[in-house]
Structure 1
């Protein structure tokens, strides 16, 4: 198995990559994911996504900056090599400078399990308080989602499966 087919898993130890490669060769990666995450969610519209994100935000980050926009973005993973994007948009309106927080979630998460959507939402919400991927950022992620690191790994497995075999659900 070439490293280019495991691009989402770069940085993981060789022993983990060997296990993933074996599952890919045996064509069992999809079965593993389906057994662990049998169902997808029904948050398909931008309006439903906004409501979901606001619910997670209000449970965990009530004091953080407001979000003005939350949308699925089908260009996101291609253009930004990212699955989610938190942006701080500044606009001049008259004599005032208005700043807004926006969140874009890769549309690949429209058909993913709810746990995967939650992981990416938590990740992007953490950027409201911590701009960089540092220790405080990941501590905040695990505060909001205790299984954050496992879910991040499983999302990487899911993306690898999508790249190699196509849709899982």
Structure 2
């Protein structure tokens, strides 16, 4: 059985099911059934990603700190164990300390279905309120995206398929 590095935290029975799909060469067709080609998205530019993120933030987190920058990062890779990253940048301007929130999303998400992009953006937006991956963090993610945990698993399956 090959190592399923993106599924390490999941139960052995789930890992066995995924391995069976891989062994039968059916993981790709299973994912294609869940995410037909029409679930691909047109959010290809940094400006479109920023607008998309702002809409999600406005819908679910109006009172949170503003996000000043959102962009696709071509250097961010799955090997670094991250598909999204939030940064809290502080800069001194005159006598004031300016704090800005920035979100980077891996460019690999340009090629994946929109629900998976949404899951990563929701995850990074949740960090505006909750810095740690704790219970409240995941509750907030589920509030913004009801299928958050399933989408996270599906994203890991896409990554497993890509190798």
TM-score range (shorter-chain normalised) is: over 0.9
1:4-33 superposed Cα distances (whole Å, 9 cap, x missing partner): xx1110011111001101111111101011
**Unaligned ranges ≥5, structure 1:** 164-169
Gaps of 5+ in 2: none
Q: CA deviation at 1:147?
A: 0.5
Partner residue in 1 for 2:5: 7
Q: Aligned in 2, Cα 1:14/1:78: closer, same or farther, shift over 3 Å?
A: closer
- Give structure 1 regions of 4+ aligned residues with deviation exceeding 4 angstroms: none
| Of 64-73 and 79-88, the range deviating more from structure 2 | 79-88
Match of 1:167 in 2: none
User: In structure 2, how many angstroms separate the alpha carbons of the residues matched to 1:70 and 1:26?
Assistant: 39
Q: What are the Cα deviations for residues 21-69 of structure 1, in whole angstroms up to 9, with x where unaligned?
A: 1111111101011110013111000000000000000000000000010
1:119 aligned onto 2:119: yes
Q: TM-score, normalised by structure 1?
A: 0.92
Query: For 1:18, which of 16, 19, 28 is the aligned residue?
Result: 16
Secondary structure in 1 matching 2:154: helix
Question: What is the CA distance between 1:162 and its match in structure 2?
Answer: 1.3
